[in-house]
């Protein structure tokens, strides 16, 4: 019930406007969000890189309402690519299609995403297409499979959400095309006809899909903070002789930093998604929905670090 409430609240514009201007809420959100600007995000990437962890930069925002917002998002993505190249940072970038105008003018959206991906290809920077709510799943996969992946190959990847009932079939098709997949649990509120409602079902789906991905021989991202799932993935890889270099664990900025460092110390590749930007409220609320216990963890963390600093 709490998860559904948090996801519902993530969509409330008035609460969004209030929280974004509230100092204490912003302080709490800073646990998960690397500041408002590209410079603050890059500083976070540098800090991760010093520990051997790579990163993915993610400019927050989705479902834009105007072409002006979509154009600004395209320019933002191009700025990220330029910064990664200038810093020579071991980082890549994620994009959300609705942030780039996926639901607006089709021709302008196509031109914008081509600008981004062409530039990324020139600079040799990998781009991950994020997956949003189930209303966009088929359209996103159609675009990726029929247009983007054939054009950009290993320079682009896609996200699959383990809680969707359709994901097993989607994974099989993507593996046949040798696409690079980031597997996550899923953070949107979906009906039980579309997504598994129970945690144990989602976990079982995740482990099964992760095993299929690892067995494919392609380089995939196993995105989870669940220690039990991580243990099962590690055990499967060891059993099948799959070397740590053949995949990577992926986590979110500010979540289970101890686990991130522990996996890296064990020799596993670890990548952290580093989100930034002013549109952090929906992202922050979905992170809370994924792990409601964080509601109690963040205030204690902030108090320990010193609210006044």
**pLDDT reported for residue 188:** 85
**pLDDT reported for residue 11:** 54
Residue by residue, what is the 3-state secondary structure of the chain? CHHHHHHHHHCCHHHHHHHHCCHHHHHHHCCCCCCCCHHHHHHHHHHHHCCCCEEEEEECCCCCCCHHHHHHHHHHHHHHHHHHHHHCCCEEEEECHHHHCCCCCHHHHHHHHHHHHHHHHHHCCCEEECCCCHHHHHHHHHHHHHHHHHHHHHHEEEEEECCECCHHHHHHHHHHCCCEEEEECCCCCCCCCCECCCHHHHHHHHHHHHHHHHHCCCCEEEECCCHHHHHHHHHHHHHHCCCHHHEEEEEECCCCHHHHHHHHHCCCEEEEEEEECCCCHHHHHHHHHHCCCHHHHHHHHHHHHCCCC
Nearest to 162 by CA among 178, 188, 186: 186
**pLDDT reported for residue 170:** 98
Instruction: Please state the pTM of the whole predicted model.
Output: 0.87
**pLDDT reported for residue 301:** 45
Instruction: List the structure tokens of 119.
Output: 């530039």
Nearest to 123 by CA among 158, 157, 79: 79
Which among 58, 128, 130, 287 is annotated as catalytic? 130
Which among 31, 128, 182, 286 is annotated as catalytic? 182
Is residue 114 part of the annotated active site? The answer reads: no
Identify the structural domains of the chain with CATH numbers, from first to last.
Answer: 2-8+32-300 (3.20.20.220)
**pLDDT reported for residue 176:** 97
**pLDDT reported for residue 306:** 43
**pLDDT reported for residue 294:** 52
Parts of the chain with a pLDDT under 50: 2, 6-10, 18, 295-297, 299-309
**pLDDT reported for residue 6:** 46
Q: In this predicted model, what pLDDT tens digit does every residue of 25-52 receive, in sequence order?
A: 556 667 788 988 999 999 999 999 999 9
Residue count of the chain: 309
């Amino acid at each position: 019930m709490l998860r559904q409430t948090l996801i519902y609240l993530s969509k409330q514009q008035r609460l969004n406007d209030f929280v974004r201007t509230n100092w204490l809420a912003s302080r709490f959100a800073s646990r998960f969000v690397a500041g408002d600007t590209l410079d603050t995000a890059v500083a976070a990437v540098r800090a991760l890189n010093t520990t051997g962890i790579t990163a993915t930069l993610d400019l927050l925002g989705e479902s834009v309402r105007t072409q002006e917002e979509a154009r600004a998002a395209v320019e933002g993505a191009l700025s990220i690519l330029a910064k990664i190249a200038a810093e020579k940072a071991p980082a890549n970038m994620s994009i959300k299609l609705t942030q780039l105008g996926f639901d607006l003018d089709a021709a302008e959206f196509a031109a914008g995403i081509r600008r981004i991906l062409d530039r990324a290809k020139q600079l040799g920077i990998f781009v991950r297409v994020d997956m949003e709510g189930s209303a966009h799943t088929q359209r996103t996969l159609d675009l990726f499979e029929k247009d983007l992946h054939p054009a950009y190959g290993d320079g682009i990847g896609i996200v699959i959400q383990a809680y969707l009932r359709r994901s097993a079939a989607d994974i099989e098709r993507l593996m046949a095309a040798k696409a690079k997949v980031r597997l996550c649990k899923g953070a949107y509120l979906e009906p039980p006809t579309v997504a598994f409602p129970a945690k144990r079902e989602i976990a079982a789906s995740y482990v099964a899909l992760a095993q299929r991905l690892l067995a494919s021989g392609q380089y995939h991202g196993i995105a989870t903070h669940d220690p039990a799932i991580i243990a099962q993935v590690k055990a499967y890889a060891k059993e099948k002789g799959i070397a740590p270099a053949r995949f990577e664990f992926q986590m979110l900025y500010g979540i289970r930093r101890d686990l991130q460092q522990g996996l890296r110390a064990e020799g596993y590749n670890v990548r952290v998604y580093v989100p930034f930007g002013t549109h952090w409220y929906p992202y922050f609320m979905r992170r809370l929905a994924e792990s409601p216990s964080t509601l109690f963890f963040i205030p204690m963390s902030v108090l320990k670090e010193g609210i006044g600093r």
